[in-house]
Amino acid sequence: MFDAALRKIIDAPLNRAGRGLADVGVTANAVTVFGLVLGFAAAAAIALGATWVALCLVLLNRLADGLDGAVARATDRTDLGGYIDIVFDFLFYGAVPLGFVLADPAENGLAGAVLLASFYANGAAFLAFAIMAEKTGIETSAQGLKSLYYLGGLAEGAETIFVFVVFCLFPAWFSVIALAFAALCFVSAGARIVFSMRVLADR
């Protein structure tokens, strides 16, 4: 919901940093892979109960996620880069709740499962429309230059990261927060499905 507005604030500094990294030979794909390593390390830290360490790793993962696109814009945007960027994002989004489930299966298992199901529904609606948009020539730049059509919703990247940060700050409240955010994600998925059906029915 807030991603498009945040892009107006963060794109300029990210692009400057991306050009600097590109100038010293860092590739966008290397940043993307490094970001995934940080994300998996965050999930491992959560599972081990080190949520403050996980918080730092989550934030570093998101910094890497912003920088890989900036490096790509400063060099060459590729289909491979766009592919691993979105796939690794979804791997990270699934790994963090899994870390909390592994940390305390009895307390967090049900809420974690519901949250992951809501991510699955949201991701399916998002990616399926991106495929149809590419097929029918529908384009947008509302979320910045992307390798695929970025269909906005109530629960986007900014909201998800905010919730992950809150998870790390208040791990004892994981189940309550996860169920609340899952409800928002299911509403977001439903809205994306309705929007997609209306757009595609008119094509």
118: domain range? Answer: 3-201
Which residue pairs, CB below 8 angstroms and at least 24 apart, start in 72-76? 72/18, 72/28, 73/15, 73/18, 73/145, 74/15, 74/18, 74/19, 74/21, 74/22, 75/22, 75/27, 75/28
- Cα–Cα distance for residue pair 154/139, rounded to 1 Å: 20
Question: Which of 83-92, 163-172, 194-203 shows the lowest per-residue confidence on average (mean pLDDT)?
Answer: 194-203
Residue 137 has pLDDT above 50, yes or no: yes
DSSP state of 13: H
Digit-coded pLDDT (tens) for 93-105: 999 999 999 999 9
Q: What mean pLDDT value characterizes the chain?
A: 86
Residue 197 has pLDDT above 70, yes or no: yes
The pLDDT of residue 144 is: 47
**19 phi and psi angles, rounded to 5 deg:** -65, -40
Question: Which of 16-30, 59-73, 136-150, 168-182 shows the lowest per-residue confidence on average (mean pLDDT)?
Answer: 136-150
In the numeric block, the tokens 């992307």 are attached to 146
Quote the number of domains for the chain: 1
CATH of the domain at 24: 1.20.120.1760
- Cα–Cα distance for residue pair 175/74, rounded to 1 Å: 41
- Cα–Cα distance for residue pair 180/21, rounded to 1 Å: 39
DSSP state of 172: G
The more confident residue out of 130 and 80 is 80
Q: The dihedral of CA 193, 124, 89, 21: what is its sign? A: negative
Digit-coded pLDDT (tens) for 16-41: 887 888 888 889 999 999 999 999 99
- To 10 degrees, the CA torsion angle through 71, 78, 185, 49? -50
